[in-house]
Chains A and B, each alone.
Chain A
Amino acid sequence: MEQALEKWQGKIYELTIGATKDEGGTRSKKVKFGGINTLPFLHFEGIVPNPPLIAVEVWDTEPTEWPDVLKNEYKDVLNNPMQWAKKCEDFGADLICLRLASTDPDTINASAADASKTIKDVLSASSLPLMIIGCGNNEKNSSIIMDVAQTAKGENCLIGMAVKENYKTFTAAAQAGGHSLIAETPIDINLEKQLNILISDLGFGSDRIVIHPTTGGIGYGFEYCYTIIERTRLAALASDKMMSQPIVTFVGQETWKIKECKADETEKPEWGSIKDRGFLWEKATASAYLQAGSDILVMNHPKAVKDIKIHIQELMKK
């Protein structure tokens, strides 16, 4: 029978996050992702060397906007990033995504020193590799990233978000601290490539960048992000080295802010159980982004994380 194989020329960069004692860090393990030379999970056509990873969010302050169904999952640890990180490790996170939300000038406006302390705490509480992201304020993020990167020096973290306005500071910080970098652009394939070029031009390894092309929740712009990721992946497989970076999507963040995961049964009886709706929505979003080509999913609900982990294991079977 005729074969349906594509002859792809390119390959996604393989990236490692985390450093063990031998490498100057304190992590119990490293995680590897990327490295694929075909479309997601097409084992018949190419090599899928690493399963996509799940990073679970840990906040440095209680996430006030989260709906109760999600908060309840973390109710004992919401004000304790150390215990929170430990909990994520226990239920199966591949890495921790520490969100320095309290540094936001509009809320607590925590200082770089506060952030550094949180990072040290989390590093001591959990031995998983670490992703560190700032708050929604680019200026503030730029002002603390040097300290953040220094504090975690040697741990080979993934830090973000480098955007057009602050990429120089972020790149310098990542370079100095020996970390990898998330480059974020607003749903535009050209801007995405351009930012990767700008960062590489500063002497930063293009194999140490992870793309965040913007994440849209299902029903809220998902299709644009899905297509941008597919197009990025196709460009990479056609050998465009500035599009060949692994991709991260913030699945949980985009799930738990939407009405479908917040409105209770009295408001929306036709939408079914509020208890299950959110984590099912998170799973659907995660699954669809895996098929687009996402290499790291940043997630929230423990049950969604567990189910998607099993789903990924299933997808990795040849």
Chain B
Amino acid sequence: MALSGLDIYKHLPKTNCKKCGCATCLAFAMALAAKKTSLDKCPDITEAAKQILDSASLPPMATITIGSGTKKIDVGGETVMFRHDKTFYHPTAIAVSISDNETNIQDKIEKIKKLNFDRVGMMVGVDLIALKNDSNNVNKFASVSKELSDKTELPLILLSDNPQAIDEALKNISNKRPLIYSANSKNYEQMSDIAKKHTVPLCICGKDVEELSDLSQKITARGVKDIVLDSGAREVSKCIQDFTKIRRLALKKNFRALGFPTIGFAESVEDASAYITKYANILVTSMDKPEELLPLVTLRLNIYTDPQKPIMMEPKLYSIGTPNENSPFMVTTNFSLTFFTVSPEVENSKIPVWLLVCDAEGMSVLTAWAADKFNAEIIDSWMKKTDIASKVKHKKIIIPGYVSVMSGKLEELTGWEVLVGPKEAAGIPKYLKTVWK
């Protein structure tokens, strides 16, 4: 449990020495509870007290690093149940699984490399490769994991409940810091020793949340610190409920044994989507087609977008194609998705356009309009700033259909004729071809 100021105070030296910068030990305790200072500021704290207070000040869910080098990935470290409470930090890491019976590993790797997409100027895609020990053969598992490790920079998950297979594979690739899966009630002692020996993160698989937390305590007691959790559930309903329980117990009850990232397994786009929204920190799937992964990585990007920071475009006058003095003049807001929805449609129309992107604090058209960040005055000021009047001969503005109500005011302010465009970007090509003459 998180400690209160008074709980912390009990462990402090109570000398009021002021060396920490606070007037009294009690004030220091209060500042600690509010996470406004750190314990190392106290020069006289006893080792015993330090241990108690340190463990109480750990984040409720650990952040675990899988892999090494440029493609290593952090998972977990989440602090809230709902993205609007703050934000989600580490996007669900997506792993594509491969069988060690696979005959053409090279082809498979090439396929996985292509599961990487440009989205709003960012590359998003598959983060990990999960190798399954379907062969049940220790040497085969080790040799395929070595091959994967040599041929791709993506971090690995080694899936086998046979400790020998994991140990053998790690002999070659432990420096790549793969996640090993999994420790269960039968093998956890050996698996813990292997994880410690090779300093790699260890995934625990229980038969339910209760056994999972029990195993987690035992494994932590054996000195393993980097842990990933699997409640053992495979049905989507059970998984969603277990992920929710684990996340709540970690975040709201500060229950240490479950304060680690989770892993989920999905074989359909609908199950995978459910796990991305509800609390899988790692997702393993055998789906490996671009059309399957594209919606998943896009959904993940949405869920993990910081709700406090809209993605913005630089507000300015954009030329799409090579517009001239007779080209249409359109306005929109600087929400990047608005821009990336509107601009391809303008391109589709094959008609060059002047597109004025106004500063609407990164909000979409309707939201910005509702918040009064996209109104006639703002459009007028951006028209002046970008000197559109010197670039076109006509005096016509096309505004988004959703904000047709501002037409009158905008005509009044600018003296330009306002044309109401379509509500949806998809209607732009037709609009430009038929209405704009």
Residues of A participating in the B interface, judged by any CB pair closer than 8 Å: 1-2, 4, 6, 39, 41-44, 65, 136, 186-188, 191, 214, 218-224, 226-227, 230-231, 234, 257-260, 270-273, 276-277, 280-281, 283-288, 290-292, 307-308, 311, 314-318
Q: Dominant SS at the B interface?
A: helix
Task: Check B244 against A288 for contact (C-beta < 8 Å).
Answer: no
CB-CB under 8 A from B253, the residues of chain A are: 2, 4
A184 to B135, CA, bound (A): 55
29 sample A-B contacts, Cβ–Cβ < 8 Å, listed by A number? A1-B209, A41-B240, A186-B366, A186-B402, A187-B367, A188-B370, A218-B299, A219-B298, A220-B341, A221-B337, A221-B364, A222-B299, A227-B83, A230-B84, A231-B84, A271-B291, A272-B292, A280-B269, A283-B273, A283-B295, A284-B272, A284-B273, A287-B274, A288-B274, A291-B273, A311-B271, A314-B237, A316-B237, A317-B238
What number of A-B contacts does a CB cutoff of 8 Å give?
Answer: 161
Contact of B277 among A2, A44, A270, A288 (CB under 8 A): A288
**Given A221-B364, A288-B303, A291-B273, list of 8 further CB < 8 A pairs?**
A6-B248, A218-B298, A223-B303, A226-B302, A271-B290, A287-B274, A292-B277, A315-B274
Task: Check B270 against A287 for contact (C-beta < 8 Å).
Answer: yes
Task: Check B213 against A285 for contact (C-beta < 8 Å).
Answer: no
Task: Check A219 against B240 for contact (C-beta < 8 Å).
Answer: no
CB-CB under 8 A from B272, the residues of chain A are: 284
A316 to B295, CA, bound (A): 24
A3 → B minimal CB distance (Å): 8
Task: Check B270 against A286 for contact (C-beta < 8 Å).
Answer: yes
Contact of B210 among A1, A230, A308, A318 (CB under 8 A): A1
CB-CB under 8 A from B367, the residues of chain A are: 186-188, 224
B320 → A minimal CB distance (Å): 15
A104 to B268, CA, bound (A): 38
CB-CB under 8 A from A259, the residues of chain B are: 344
B197 on the A face (CB < 8 A):
no
A211 → B minimal CB distance (Å): 16
Contact of A223 among B307, B370, B423 (CB under 8 A): B307
Bin the interface of chain B by size: 35 or more
CB-CB under 8 A from A227, the residues of chain B are: 82-84, 307
CB-CB under 8 A from A318, the residues of chain B are: 237
CB-CB under 8 A from B117, the residues of chain A are: 270-271
Contact of B244 among A4, A65, A316 (CB under 8 A): A4
Task: Check A230 against B82 for contact (C-beta < 8 Å).
Answer: yes
A314 to B234, CA, bound (A): 11
CB-CB under 8 A from B366, the residues of chain A are: 186-187, 214
Task: Check A287 against B273 for contact (C-beta < 8 Å).
Answer: yes
B278 on the A face (CB < 8 A):
yes
CB-CB under 8 A from A191, the residues of chain B are: 370
Task: Check B426 against A257 for contact (C-beta < 8 Å).
Answer: yes
B119 on the A face (CB < 8 A):
yes
